[in-house]
Structure 1
Amino acid sequence: MNEIKELQETNIEKFKDYPLDSSIKRALSELGFKQPLEVQAKVIPMILEGKDLIVKSQTGSGKTAAFAISLCQKIDVELESPQVLVLSPTRELTEQVKQDIYDIGKYKGLKCCALYGKQPMEQQRKELKQNTPHVIVATPGRMMDHILNKNVKLHDIKYLVIDEADEMLIMGFKEQLEAIIKKIPKDRVTLLFSATIPDEVHFLSQEYLRNPENIEIEPQVSNLEKIEQIYYAVDGLKKVDFIKKVIEREHPRKAIMFCNTQEQVTNLFEIFRKWGNFTCAVHGGMDQQMRTEKLTAFKRGEYKMLIATDVAARGLHVQGITHVINYGVPFEHEQYVHRIGRTGRVDQHGIAITMVIPSEMARFHDLETFLGYKIPCKGGHVDRRPKVDSTQKKGRERYKAGNRGQKALVQFNAGRSNSSLKTSDFLAAIRHVNGICNENIGKVDIRESVTNVEIFDGKEDIVIKALKTKKIKGKLYRVKRG
């Protein structure tokens, strides 16, 4: 214990100086981990000491390694039973976290598994029984399925990690999270990681964490400030040839090209495959095993470019992405931010390029309004240097929590007793209202027969007017001021 307190008080500059097993240090060395990032330096000593934590840290800050390194150290490999449960919002993030934990703990003999949908339950049940993991990484829905089917024993769980907590609550996993937490021992360490701490995350932490330490990692440079954003106005019939020229001139070391449809992914992959064997593709219609194999190969550097739908926009953390290319303007403004956030991570700069055809120009200008700045048009000129347009800085405050105006309540006559709607259903409906963005929406409070939604910045009348004629999950609900 004294060693850990000394660790907290000392600014350790290298992982080799941490009190970690030699097997973990060997894995970290092979992975290229030399000096801890800020979130790792603050989090690792506290997890080793056994404290509950609430960590506010943006995506790409190194938080996964922060809890993975610590928990690999704490796990008793001689105990053939699950000791760590990590809950994450998406299949892709679940697989990513599982791989990260395996890579760090492999020489210690640590076993882990990933549980998520679109994969046979029976296959996962056999893995849980025959190859009892020390660590389970799971989406809440699939974890609940295994608990209800009595496929997993959780009596030895000593650590619970709730990763991307804000995303899980936005996606409507609150009830499943609470049900899972009630099934694991109360005598545990709980670690909550979130890019933002909205009210729902705060309430969750109050309910299930014991005297947690709060750690907030402020990015030295906003992710968006590290990304040069440009667009090209192109003719739809010439877009493929034009994008080839852009790629040839940019020479990206590693790139992701996002498409709006599965059909676009398939067609572009067939075209790019003829130019050379440097491209792979993933989309939601592919077999899960095939998607996982392609994503793993891309991360390992076997391919220079990944062509994908937005299935890869969230939870895909790949080091060294130099370019993000939007083959078309995304339909959701928030999706643009998630896409381009695949580059410019940690201490790197990146370039985000968007191809805009005439029919998308109005949607593109709406995107600029949402961002709060103009994205420069490069025409036919390609500038390789990742410089940042100064006007982009004006919009960065839009992504900081708490920067909201006056609050009002909008009430729907739909609650637990008279509807099957979830938090995510209300959020999805409101987000599709013209003029409404994430920052305008607050807490969703589902009660017995009504649901109250916080709306900021005087936008409640816009929401009420739109939702009076807009169906939610195929049904109209009465809506008024709360």
Structure 2
Amino acid sequence: MKELKQTETATMIKFKDYPFENDIKRALGELGFKHPLKVQEKTIPLILDGKDLIVKSQTGSGKTAAFAIPICEKINAAHESPQALVLTPTRELAEQVMKDFSDISKYKELKCLALYGKQPMADQRRELKKNTPHVIVATPGRMLDHIENKNVRLQDIKYLVIDEADEMLLMGFKEQLDAIIQKLPKERVTLLFSATISDEVNILSAQYMHDPENIEIEPEVASINKIKQVYYGVDGLKKVDLIKKVIEREIPRKAVIFCNTQEQVDNLFEILRKWSSSICAVHGGMDQHLRKEKITLFKRGECRILIATDMAARGLHVQGITHVFNYSVPFEHEQYVHRIGRTGRVDQRGIAITMVIPSEMERFRELEVFLGYKIPCKGNVTNRKPKVEAERPTAKGRFKLESRKGQKALVQFSAGRSNSNLKANDFVSAIRNNVEGITAEDIGRVDIKDTVTNVEIFDGKERSVINAFKTKKVKGKLLRVKKG
């Protein structure tokens, strides 16, 4: 279990000094756990005491073990009923967390089960009834399916863990979370773990947690020092050639290339696989078994470079990733933090390289404001540089940039912060999937206001967008749309 192996001594306290059962101590010893990491040292005693916790901790800090160890300790193995429920945003993370629970509790003989989509419901139903698990790790959608079909008993749940809460809400799981939590016992311990604490996360905690304690774990090495971050300015047509050259120069031992859409993953893979045989790709539209096979190849090192969407790579805990490439600037600032967190894990260092085309430059500058620091430019291979109109903060404290020459128009959708839970990537995905002839380069800034959202569309394609969304929906919602 390489992902759980401790490689950093955060304190002189030893796991053998904790009041754990011998079965738990034995498993921790075999896994290489000697001293708790900072997040484990702060949270384990509080979880053992039954406290609700909101924990802000970066990816790779050891947070899974921070909640898995005390929960395994507290579960009654003789009572054959689900006693802990862990909700995660993706199938890959669900599998990883379930494996961690199984490894920690193997001598205590707890039964753990992962539930997620694209697996037969009937098989999961049989497993729930035949081999009743003590710990269920599930994605919200599939967990709700089993609850509605009365396939699972929840009356004995004593621990609820919401893992990667920020990502869960970003992916639109709020309604499913509400429905699941309302079916759980009121008397329980609720643990919320997140890399960032957004307003949405705070609202969720206020709804369902009882007097929670807030714990913020500062990284042992600041991310800006631990992960070298740079960007290249590049024209869209030159991105593929540039990323080839950068990979040849960097010679990564293991790297992930992040794309914003499934189509982008497929297109880039088709090009790069002719250039190198050590490349594989995953995204949410692929068959689950194929995705697992490709990720296994990547973990083993048989594929050196993995091309992936954010959703497919969420929960990807692979040691030895030296480089992260952002083929496109992510639409949500938090996604950038999660992406680069695939490298520089625990005691390692890494490199994060972002490709920025002219139409993405304003979004990239806003990302820098969010991060609180400038990312240095490694090179600029654009034919034209974005023109800086004003080197002064706007009303929102951001720099106003003319991100792309040529025709630009705003398309306005009748949904904003106060009347919907739609995110920027929801609008972009809907436009890309429903408007013929539009590419990622044709979509600029997505500005979500109070009751409306304005989307920049380039090269005179705004009319096509407006016409398409007279009948098409954005994440299941039919919206009014007009030229902004």
Q: What TM-score do you get using the length of structure 1 for normalisation?
A: 0.72
Tell me, yes or no, if structure 1 residue 264 matches structure 2 residue 268.
Answer: yes
Deviation larger for 140-149 or 241-250: 241-250
3-state secondary structure, aligned to 1:108: coil
Question: What is the aligned-residue identity percentage?
Answer: 61
Change (3 A) 1:176 1:286: closer
Which residue in 2 is equivalent to 1:132?
132
Change (3 A) 1:185 1:375: same
Change (3 A) 1:27 1:283: same
3-state secondary structure, aligned to 2:105: helix
Which residue in 1 is equivalent to 2:366?
370
Which residue in 2 is equivalent to 1:56?
56
Which residue in 1 is equivalent to 2:192?
192
The answer (yes or no) to whether the contact 1:230–1:378 under 8 Å persists in 2 is no
Query: Take 1:306 and 1:102, find their aligned partners in 2: how far apart are those partners?
Result: 27
Query: Take 2:34 and 2:300, find their aligned partners in 1: how far apart are those partners?
Result: 19
Query: Take 1:171 and 1:236, find their aligned partners in 2: how far apart are those partners?
Result: 27
After TM superposition, give the deviation of residue 132 of structure 1 in Å.
1.6
AA paired with 1:284? G
3-state secondary structure, aligned to 1:351: strand
| Long gaps (5+) in structure 1 | 1-10, 381-403, 416-420, 442-451, 454-459
The answer (yes or no) to whether the contact 1:262–1:309 under 8 Å persists in 2 is no
Which residue in 2 is equivalent to 1:210?
210
After TM superposition, give the deviation of residue 88 of structure 1 in Å.
1.6
AA paired with 2:376? I
Query: Take 1:152 and 1:110, find their aligned partners in 2: how far apart are those partners?
Result: 17
Deviation larger for 207-216 or 134-143: 207-216
AA paired with 1:306? L
Which residue in 2 is equivalent to 1:329?
328
Which residue in 2 is equivalent to 1:73?
73
- 1:69-218 pair list within 5 angstroms: 69-218=69-218
Please give the per-residue CA displacement for 1:19-58, whole angstroms capped at 9, x wherever unaligned.
2233333333343333222111000111111111121223
Change (3 A) 1:294 1:25: farther
Which residue in 1 is equivalent to 2:343?
343
3-state secondary structure, aligned to 1:67: helix
After TM superposition, give the deviation of residue 248 of structure 1 in Å.
5.2
After TM superposition, give the deviation of residue 317 of structure 1 in Å.
2.7
Change (3 A) 1:41 1:337: closer
The answer (yes or no) to whether the contact 1:82–1:133 under 8 Å persists in 2 is yes
Please give the per-residue CA displacement for 1:392-433, whole angstroms capped at 9, x wherever unaligned.
xxxxxxxxxxxx879xxxx99779xxxxx8513687349999
Query: Take 1:15 and 1:248, find their aligned partners in 2: how far apart are those partners?
Result: 44
The aligned length equals 409
Query: Take 1:56 and 1:321, find their aligned partners in 2: how far apart are those partners?
Result: 23
Query: Take 1:242 and 1:284, find their aligned partners in 2: how far apart are those partners?
Result: 26
What RMSD over aligned residues (CA atoms) do the two structures have, in Å? 3.9
Query: Take 2:22 and 2:64, find their aligned partners in 1: how far apart are those partners?
Result: 20
After TM superposition, give the deviation of residue 161 of structure 1 in Å.
0.7
Change (3 A) 1:266 1:98: farther
After TM superposition, give the deviation of residue 189 of structure 1 in Å.
1.2
After TM superposition, give the deviation of residue 351 of structure 1 in Å.
0.8
Query: Take 2:329 and 2:341, find their aligned partners in 1: how far apart are those partners?
Result: 14
Query: Take 1:318 and 1:264, find their aligned partners in 2: how far apart are those partners?
Result: 22
Flag the structure with higher helix content.
1
Which residue in 1 is equivalent to 2:406?
none
Counterpart of 1:477 (choices 461, 476, 480) is 480
Deviating runs (4+, > 6 A) in structure 1?
233-242, 411-415, 430-433, 464-470
Query: Take 1:465 and 1:305, find their aligned partners in 2: how far apart are those partners?
Result: 33
- 1:245-260 pair list within 5 angstroms: 246-247=246-247, 249-259=249-259, 260=264
Which residue in 1 is equivalent to 2:357?
361
Change (3 A) 1:231 1:289: same
Query: Take 1:205 and 1:364, find their aligned partners in 2: how far apart are those partners?
Result: 34
3-state secondary structure, aligned to 2:316: coil
Which residue in 2 is equivalent to 1:42?
42
After TM superposition, give the deviation of residue 350 of structure 1 in Å.
0.8
Please give the per-residue CA displacement for 1:138-185, whole angstroms capped at 9, x wherever unaligned.
111111110011111112211111112222223332222122112122
Query: Take 2:46 and 2:283, find their aligned partners in 1: how far apart are those partners?
Result: 39
The answer (yes or no) to whether the contact 2:233–2:358 under 8 Å persists in 1 is no
Change (3 A) 1:363 1:30: farther
Query: Take 1:300 and 1:110, find their aligned partners in 2: how far apart are those partners?
Result: 28
The answer (yes or no) to whether the contact 2:266–2:281 under 8 Å persists in 1 is no
| Long gaps (5+) in structure 2 | 1-10, 369-373, 382-395, 399-411, 432-442
AA paired with 2:75? I
Query: Take 2:190 and 2:87, find their aligned partners in 1: how far apart are those partners?
Result: 11
Query: Take 2:346 and 2:189, find their aligned partners in 1: how far apart are those partners?
Result: 27
Change (3 A) 1:240 1:192: closer
3-state secondary structure, aligned to 2:79: coil
Query: Take 2:167 and 2:222, find their aligned partners in 1: how far apart are those partners?
Result: 19
Which residue in 2 is equivalent to 1:318?
318
Query: Take 1:226 and 1:54, find their aligned partners in 2: how far apart are those partners?
Result: 25
Please give the per-residue CA displacement for 1:59-80, whole angstroms capped at 9, x wherever unaligned.
3322111001111111222222
Query: Take 2:28 and 2:200, find their aligned partners in 1: how far apart are those partners?
Result: 35
AA paired with 1:329? S
Query: Take 1:252 and 1:430, find their aligned partners in 2: how far apart are those partners?
Result: 31
AA paired with 1:423? N
Query: Take 1:269 and 1:200, find their aligned partners in 2: how far apart are those partners?
Result: 40
Query: Take 2:359 and 2:169, find their aligned partners in 1: how far apart are those partners?
Result: 28
Which residue in 2 is equivalent to 1:17?
17
Query: Take 1:199 and 1:246, find their aligned partners in 2: how far apart are those partners?
Result: 38
Change (3 A) 1:362 1:193: same
Query: Take 1:120 and 1:319, find their aligned partners in 2: how far apart are those partners?
Result: 31
Which residue in 2 is equivalent to 1:392?
none
Which residue in 2 is equivalent to 1:388?
none
